[in-house]
Amino acid sequence: MSYDLFLGCVIPARLPFLEASSRKVFEKLGIKLNDVEGFSCCPDPTGIEQIDHTTWLALGARNLSLCRNNGGVISFCSGCVETLKGVNYFINKDLTTKKEINRYLQKVGKVYEGKTEVKHFAEILYENLENIKKNVEKPLEGFKVAVHYGCHYLRPSEIIEWDDPFEPITIDEIVKALGAESVEYDLKMECCGNPVEKSDRDLSLLMIDNKLKAIENAGANCVAVVCPACYQQYEFNQRELNKRNNTEYNLPIFYLSELVGLAFGFFPEEMGLNFHRIKPNELFESIHF
């Protein structure tokens, strides 16, 4: 089984360790990922789409026009997945849009018919759940995980077409398959607040503060995310919140691939867990992992 890999911007250029763990997990599962030359920004559905929908479609369609793999393309980022799925949605929904976008693509010698299948890496992991279970060497005992699905992994459901938009199960199931506990918490389905940082930093911090509070109240000892924007929002802001509000957040944030990797028996260092701002070592010690 193989897929083209769409990396996007945030993961390869800012959080390369998330890429490392993801690649390793896919390799272990025997799923081949092809690197493709010449991708641009996806572009960001919470940024570029908001200022210019047509540009968003054109750049996204250009990216998809570069994919050749029959299995389609996957990404480690929920934003990229939403953009690429969204391009398919809008192009296939309206012939005028398809013609318009292809008129632009023609100027750079490209064409896109809207046929490339797009999937989130967590979709692939869920589809390989049995395979994952077989590969668990070190069950994640003592991990009380607050699963954060994030918005763009699920919604708009008409575009994403995966899992339930309000009562999803897929990531919880993966986390449980690794031997960890998935902790229910208030505000589980709420936004992390990352996209509003561009217009209101205080509001963005308030949103993540509420989520962290709920997660701590529920007794979770770490968080699992599947989107680099959510990852940054959770990881980078705990210190800032502690400074502002005298809180004592110190919650390790794991990418789903990192949790899978740990359960597969990979060493934290080979996945670059040492590059996390909030080091998970304390957690590992406290639960004797």
Partner 1 sequence: MSVINFDFRNQVIKHNASLSYCYQCSTCSGGCPVALLTNGEYNPRKIIEEAILGLQDKLIEVQDPNPWLCSTCQKCVELCPQKVELTEIFTLIKNKCFEEGKYPEAFHAQGQAVLENGIAIPYSKAVLSRREKLGLPIITTAPIEEIKTLLRQTNFEQNIIKREAE
Partner 2 sequence: MEKVSKSALVIGGGIAGIQAALDLADMGIHVDMVEKKPCIGGRMAQLDKTFPTNDCSICILAPKLSECYRHPNITLYSYSEVQKVEGSAGNFSAEILKRARYIKEEECINCGLCVEKCPMRVEDEFDRELRKRRAIYIYYLQGVPAIMTIDKEKCLWFTKNACRICEKTCEREAIDFEQEDQIIKLENIGSIIVATGYSLIEDIDKDVLKNYGYGKFRNVVSALEFERLECASGPQGGHIKRFSDGKTPKKIAFLQCIGSRSDRVEKYCSSICCMYTTKEAMIAYEHDNELESYVFYIDMRAGGKGFQSFLRRGAAEYNIKYIKSKIAQITVDEKENPIIIYEDLDNDKITQLKVDLVVLATCIVPPQGIDNLAEILGIELNDYNFIKTTPFIPVETSKNGVFTCGCVHEPMDIPRSVAEASGAAAKAAEIIRGG
Residues that bind partner 2 (CB under 8 A): 166-167, 186
Where is 54: in which H helix or E strand?
A: helix 53-65
The answer to whether 226 and 121 have CB atoms below 8 angstroms apart is: yes
Least CB distance to partner 2 at residue 184 (A): 11
104 binds, among partner 1, partner 2, none (CB under 5 to 8 A by kind): partner 1
User: What angle do helix axes 53-65 and 78-93 make, rounded to 10 degrees?
Assistant: 100
Q: Contact, 34 vs 256, CB < 8 A? A: no
d(CA 90, CA 282): 47
Which of 218, 219, 216, 191 lies closest to 206 in space, CA to CA?
A: 191
Q: With respect to partner 1, which residue has the nearer C-beta, 36 or 136?
A: 36
Under the binding rule (CB under 8 A), the answer on residue 43 touching partner 1 is yes
Closer of 10 and 146 to partner 2 (Cβ)? 146
Out of 26, 29, 49, 122, name the contact with partner 1 by CB under 8 A. 49
Judged by beta carbon distances under 5 to 8 A according to partner kind, the member of partner 1, partner 2, none in contact with residue 179 is none
**CB-wise, 35 or 186, nearer to partner 2?**
186
207 lines the binding site for partner 1 (CB under 8 A): yes
For residue 21, count other CB atoms closer than 10 A to its CB: 26
Q: Which is nearer to partner 2, 187 or 287 (CB)?
A: 187
In angstroms, what CA-CA distances link 265 with 79, 134, 270, 285? 29, 12, 11, 16
Q: Which of 201, 198, 253, 263 is nearest to 227 (CA)?
A: 253
Which listed range, 69-77, 205-213, 215-223, 236-244, lies at the site for partner 1 (CB under 8 A)? Answer: 205-213
Q: Which residues bind partner 1 (CB under 8 A)?
A: 7, 9-10, 12-14, 16-17, 19-20, 23, 35, 37-41, 43-55, 58-59, 62, 103-105, 107-108, 151-152, 155-157, 165-166, 190-191, 193, 195-200, 203, 206-207, 210, 272, 275
